[in-house]
Amino acid sequence: MRLEEHVAFSGKLSRLYELAKKGEIPTTLQGSHTRPCKFWTAMKILSGVHNTIVIAHGPSGCAYGVKQTYKLTNCRNSASPYEAVLSTNIEEKNIVYGGEKELVGAIREVEEKYTPDIIVIATSCATGIIGDNVNDIIETIGETIKAEILVIHCEGFSGEYRSGFDLVFKELVKLMEPPTEELKNELHHSVNIVGGKMGAERSEVDTDVKELMRLVEGMGAKINAVIAGDCSLEELKRAPSAAVNCALCLDIGYAVGKEMEKVYKTPLNSTILPYGISATRNWLEKAAAYMGLEKEAEELMNQEYEVIREEFESAKANLAGKIGLIEGHDAVKSLSIAHMLEKDFQMRPIIYNFHPWSTEARETSIDYLLEMGMDPEVLITKGTLAFGKYESMKQTEDELLAFLGNIDPETVVYFGSSLSFPNIPLVDLNAILNRPRFGYRGALKVAKCINKSFTYAFRPRSKLMKELVFPKDKSLSSLSSLPSKLSQDMPDCTLYGKGGRRRCINS
């Protein structure tokens, strides 16, 4: 295979960004590359607010899908109790006559049955199109309901998947209360971590957010809330009085942070995902500055570094000058890993198959990286832009191998899914045992993972495992899309669904 025939784009990130803005490279996702819709992403954020009942105003399938995906996963992994997701169960007759009566009835019933702090009315495609006037209904009956009511217009067709996150984050700000001097004094050493989603952190896993919380507390500060990872209405109300909002990254949490900044003047600390020491320092220093805890933060960072210094320096020594090829279909993560490889390890990052669609969705992160003077190389092969089927995945795998050619496996490491099989060392940062990835401990973990993969580069990848992903008997004439069960981890995949997320240990 001649790589040149298969390259859709090769160049700097800034060039790709420019082409995408001018419409000179396709930026739409293929019909086979479906993402969760706006309804699903809105629900993902709402799942992180305690004692909130969502009434999905629509047929049962929308509520059932998110419940099965998010709520059951939270029971399984985060020790959460059973939480209902309600539906007004819109049927054929309601499509004709409307479902307003059903919605009013549902709101009143929910108040009686669950006594929630917040009732969220989430519109679906069906009720959005038939034009049920949800806002009017809430205006009419709102005062008779004790719970706070939020209306989220998140019809699946009304925006790209990302818009659901941003919309809910902005709406949550409406539940907050303006800062008071008294509360500001109480919370002058408190931060909100913004950009959490789905619910509490996994109970049995040392997660990235837990690591950030440990670091914040390590410099003598407190966490007021993780919005909306695991927060209550009370915490949300107090949130504007916290000293600073620390976004998990420039994209996730940016919307709520910017809105709180605009409405309540709560400062926002927003950097790239804190992968590696450089990004972690940046994250902590900025947070500390808003609380007057610079000295404590410096002490903490010194302590943290001292704990890992010997191992980290030794691990790092082997990495300078090597190439890090980073799978690009998780756009924000790939940009953050590129930042870490260059700043922490002095490696040369190349982002592989960053879908041009992501340039719009991840604009903030790209701008930040470019402003920081980083402009990593990007390589996009045609398989990434092909109509999704098993072969496009196989094609991208072949293209990857063609790109690598006879490259010396001692000079390149691939950051991507273990379900990809390049002939070079591979680091899968999504693997559950590779957590936390943030902070100093995370930096050491990553450095050790890279070196471990170089150490065992002599071991060929398992034929058995490879054949599971790339069966021998599948020629280019057998065709398919990817299943939801594997979509999180597959090379070149963007399909999504509940099956995989409820079972995959990487999710």
Q: Which residues ranging from 71 to 100 are in contact with other proteins (CB under 8 A)?
A: 72, 75-76, 81-82, 84-92, 94-95
Position among 499, 504, 506, 507 found at the interface with other proteins (CB under 8 A): 499
If one asks whether residue 55 binds other proteins (CB under 8 A), the answer comes out as yes
Nearest distance, CB of residue 430 and other proteins, angstroms: 18
Under rule CB under 8 A, residue 227 binds other proteins: no
Q: Which of 62, 122, 332, 380 binds other proteins (CB under 8 A)?
A: 62
Contacts of 106 (CB under 8 A, 6+ apart): 55, 57, 86, 88
Q: Does residue number 58 form part of the binding site for other proteins (CB under 8 A)? A: yes
# residues contacting other proteins (CB under 8 A):
87
137 binds other proteins (CB under 8 A): no
Residue 55 and residue 90: Cα distance in Å, rounded?
12
**Can residue 129 be called a binding residue for other proteins (CB under 8 A)?**
yes
Q: What is the DSSP letter of 431?
A: S
235 near 225, Cβ under 8 Å? yes
Q: Does 134 bind other proteins (CB under 8 A)?
A: no
Output 227 or 482, the one with its CB closest to other proteins.
Answer: 482
Among 23, 31, 405, 460, binds other proteins (CB under 8 A): 31
Among 484, 504, 506, 507, binds other proteins (CB under 8 A): 484
Query: Would you say 130 or 145 has its CB closer to other proteins?
Result: 130
Only segment of 70-78, 143-151, 238-246, 344-352 that touches other proteins (CB under 8 A): 70-78
What dihedral do alpha carbons 139, 170, 45, 160 form, nearest 10°? 100
Contact residues for 89 (Cβ-Cβ < 8 A; gap 6+): 59, 60, 102
Using CB under 8 A as the binding rule, whether residue 498 contacts other proteins is answered as yes
**Of 482, 488, 491, 492, which lies in the binding site for other proteins, with binding defined by CB under 8 A?**
482
Choose between 455 and 480: whose C-beta lies nearer to other proteins.
480
How far apart are CB 160 and other proteins at their closest, in Å?
Answer: 8
Is residue 126 near other proteins by the rule CB under 8 A?
Answer: yes
Site for other proteins in 243-272 (CB under 8 A): none
Angstrom distance (rounded) from CA 53 to CA 110: 8
**CA nearest 414: which of 324, 475, 481?**
324
Q: What residue has token string 């058995």?
A: 464
Measured CA to CA in angstroms, residue 392 lies from 2, 5, 32 at distances of 17, 15, 11
Buried b (16+ CB within 10 A) or exposed e, 4-31: eebbbbbeebeebbebbeeeebebebbe
**b/e code 201-218 from CB counts within 10 Å (16+ = b):** bbeeebbbbbbbbbbbeb
**Could you tell me which stretch among 240-248, 251-259, 359-367, 473-481 binds other proteins (CB under 8 A)?**
473-481
Rounded least distance, CB 156 to other proteins, Å: 3
To other proteins, the closest distance from the beta carbon of 24 in angstroms equals 21
Closest CA to 421 of 393, 448, 389: 393
Q: Is the peptide bond before 425 cis (omega within 30 degrees of 0)?
A: no
Selected from 12, 21, 108, 146, the binder of other proteins by CB under 8 A is 108
User: Nearer to other proteins by C-beta: 91 or 410?
Assistant: 91
Which of 56, 340 has the CB closer to other proteins? Answer: 56
Q: Answer for the pair 412, 321: CB distance below 8 angstroms, yes or no.
A: no
With b meaning 16 or more CB within 10 Å and e meaning fewer, what string describes 150-183? bbbbbbbebbebbbbbbbbbbbbbebbeebeeeb
Residue 165 makes contact with other proteins by CB under 8 A? no
Question: Please, which residue, 10 or 158, has the CB nearer to other proteins?
Answer: 158
5 is written with which tokens? Answer: 């025939």
> Binding other proteins by CB under 8 A: which of 45, 103, 173, 331?
103
Residue closer to other proteins, measured from CB, 10 or 506: 506
Residue at token pair 């209360």:
177
The least CB distance from residue 101 to other proteins, in Å, is 8
Measuring CA to CA, which residue among 487, 484, 436 is closest to residue 202?
Answer: 436
Task: Give the residue from 266, 192, 189 showing the smallest Cα distance to 221.
Answer: 189
Token pair of 236, please? 């949300």
User: Which whole-number Å values give the CA distances from 366 to 55, 283, 333, 375, 394, in the listed order?
Assistant: 36, 17, 11, 9, 29
The reply on whether position 335 binds other proteins by CB under 8 A is no
Distance CA 24, CA 74 (A): 42
Q: With binding defined as CB under 8 A, does residue 144 bind other proteins? A: no
Q: Does 213 bind other proteins (CB under 8 A)?
A: no
Q: Which is nearer to other proteins, 142 or 409 (CB)?
A: 142
Among 17, 45, 65, 354, binds other proteins (CB under 8 A): 65
Is residue 64 a contact residue for other proteins (CB under 8 A)?
yes
Question: Could you tell me the smallest distance in angstroms from the CB atom of residue 395 to other proteins?
Answer: 12
Of the candidates 174, 208, 175, 155, the one whose C-alpha atom is nearest the C-alpha of residue 41 is: 155
Our measurement of the distance from residue 369's CA atom to the centroid of its chain's CA atoms, rounded to an integer in Å, reads 18
Select 429 or 486, whichever has its Cβ closest to other proteins: 486
Site for other proteins in 390-419 (CB under 8 A): 390, 393
8 A C-beta contact, residue 37 and residue 164: yes
- Per CB under 8 A, 421 contacts other proteins: no
